[in-house]
Structure 1
Amino acid sequence: MKANVGDAITMTTERVGQVSRQGVIREVHGADGGPPYLVEWSDGHTGLINPGPGSVKWIGAEPARGSSTT
């Protein structure tokens, strides 16, 4: 997995019935864009993550503010 600062990330949840987590990568700590990543989540919290296989649904450029992702 490779990411850049400013990329948006969507991760799956650990429990059935929970919504996916969405955030923005603020720091990349691994070599060549690899994890771990410091992520600012949509709820305002930040956390250092080292995502496992299948846990990331999407990584890409952060959508422009006010734009729709539908």
Structure 2
Amino acid sequence: MALREMLDFFQVNELSPNERLGPSGRTMEANLKKRINAIIAIIRDIEKTQTKPTNAMLQSLFELEPQ
């Protein structure tokens, strides 16, 4: 009876037991972590090469020299 239920499941859902069903939760999580780490690296690079130097230039423009 259980075997018949399994076979019916594959037939109703048009699945083959020989096919891969797609990425597993672990592979999806690993890919997501890699993408998040890449985004973090991009944001840190932008901060280092653009934001901090621009901020320093703006602060130097607005600093008042003692007279």
TM-score (norm 2): 0.16
Higher strand share: 1
TM-score (norm 1): 0.15
Computing the radius of gyration over CA atoms, which structure comes out larger, 1 or 2?
2
